[in-house]
Structure 1
Amino acid sequence: MSVIDTIAIGDRFGAWTVTAKGRRLISGDSRRVCFCRCDCGTDLSMEAYALTSGGTTRCRTCSNRNKANMSHRLTHGGSETRLYRIWMLMRRRCSALTNPDYPNYGGRGISVCSEWNDFAAFREWANGNGYEAHLTIDRRDNNGNYEPGNCRWVGRKAQNRNRRDNIRYQWRGRQMLLSEIAEITGLPYSLIRQRVRRDGWQVERAASTPPGTRWQHEGRYNDIGL
């Protein structure tokens, strides 16, 4: 799925509203573009990446007016901050085809909501929703977009647990990671992981057998304690 396929008629990117999608000759090539209307009424067609990357958020007339009348907003004072780097990386992984993380984000149809094309809006949300310097942004639904209702700030440990490639096991009526089971039982994670993934134990047995227990397998006794 290309970037333009993730954009719907009516989507907003800054002051732009997407009114239609079609094709236009650009440097002699027929390319798919979005036809947009600025809040001031100016119509313009542009490639999808210009919108999703934040390369344009309003027409030139509005941009010049904004510079003249609201210059204090143009310098948000955050370009050297960690939060700004998080914001940039979030947008690049969803829209930049050359970004190494694109296949796992934009390539899967994940996008950043139009509201967050403005760093000031993203910063306001972050500061009002628990952002701290040691936390990372995490999507509750790994198949969902970056948007206020689907995002939260968590520690690195919690984010790693929410990776979509993590394997969860049925234990005590819940789907859980082995690391979570280890925390609850007090057994070493490495021991439970070895029992389940290498030795083929059922999770219930692996989580309830004390360390150092000898067990019989194929007629032999093996010491699986650490």
Structure 2
Amino acid sequence: MIAKRNHTLFSTWAGMMYRCYKPYHSHYKYYGAKGVTVCDRWHDFWNFVEDIDNHMENGYLLYHKSYQLDKDKNGGMIYSLGNCKVITAEENNKLHHDKQQRKVLAFNDNEKMEFNSLAETGKILNIPRSSIITSIKRNSRHKSGYYFKYVS
């Protein structure tokens, strides 16, 4: 049997586990810190390989560097066989970019403005992105007088 660390899917599995459970990982803040987890079955590497090889549609494509595992098949917060699909790295990057480009509504007693992204909101209103995010999370008025919320 091939050693776990030498298996082609090891880096995919390890990356998933680290993003979800290792606070020092650079992407933990987007995954584990937001409640994203890995199903119990996939905590065992060999169960992960078995499911990818035998039960996941197009799972064999994960053996190629240009494909990635995407957990958002059902809008879920868990990496599992039923919640994941295999997509190209290009598709995954576009999905990630689209999620980051959420529209923002800025409003006060006199006006409402819609922006295409947090970056655009901050640039036009001259407010730091982090301040806008804090205002959204707290559902509070920013010192500029605006409330902010994401537009669906």
Query: Which TM-score bucket, shorter chain as reference?
Result: 0.5 to 0.7
| Structure 1 counterpart of 2:67 | 135
| Structure 2 counterpart of 1:165 | 100
Q: Quote how far apart the aligned CAs of 1:156 are.
A: 1.1
- 1:96-135 matches, cutoff 5 A: 96-128=22-54, 129=56, 130-131=58-59, 132=61, 133=64, 134-135=66-67
1:76–1:120 Cα contact (<8 Å) kept: no
SS in 2 for 1:153: strand
Q: What TM-score do you get using the length of structure 1 for normalisation?
A: 0.38
Q: Which digits, 9 at most, give the CA deviation of each residue in 1:144-185, with x for residues without a partner?
A: 2111111011101211232231458xxxxxxxxxxxxxxxxx
| Structure 1 counterpart of 2:123 | none
Q: How many residue pairs were aligned?
A: 95
Return the structure number with greater strand share.
1
Which ranges in structure 1 are unaligned for 5 or more consecutive residues? Answer: 1-74, 169-196, 198-226
Q: Quote how far apart the aligned CAs of 1:89 are.
A: 0.8
Relative to structure 1, the CA distance from residue 151 to residue 166 in structure 2 (aligned partners, 3 Å threshold; closer, same or farther) is farther
Q: What TM-score do you get using the length of structure 2 for normalisation?
A: 0.55
* Larger radius of gyration between Structure 1 and Structure 2: 1
Return the structure number with greater helix share.
2
- 1:1-226 matches, cutoff 5 A: 76-128=2-54, 129=56, 130-131=58-59, 132=61, 133=64, 134-139=66-71, 140-141=73-74, 143-163=76-96, 164-167=99-102
Q: Quote how far apart the aligned CAs of 1:109 are.
A: 0.3
Q: Which digits, 9 at most, give the CA deviation of each residue in 1:37-61, with x for residues without a partner?
A: xxxxxxxxxxxxxxxxxxxxxxxxx
Moved over 4 A (4+): none
1:94–1:107 Cα contact (<8 Å) kept: yes
Q: What CA distance in whole angstroms lies between the structure 1 residues aligned with 2:91 and 2:101?
A: 12
Structure with larger RCO (C-alpha < 8 A, sep 6+)? 2
Q: What CA distance in whole angstroms lies between the structure 2 residues aligned with 1:141 and 1:166?
A: 20
Supply the AA of the counterpart residue of 2:35.
Answer: G
Which ranges in structure 2 are unaligned for 5 or more consecutive residues? Answer: 104-119, 121-152
Q: Quote how far apart the aligned CAs of 1:143 are.
A: 4.6
Q: Percent identity?
A: 23
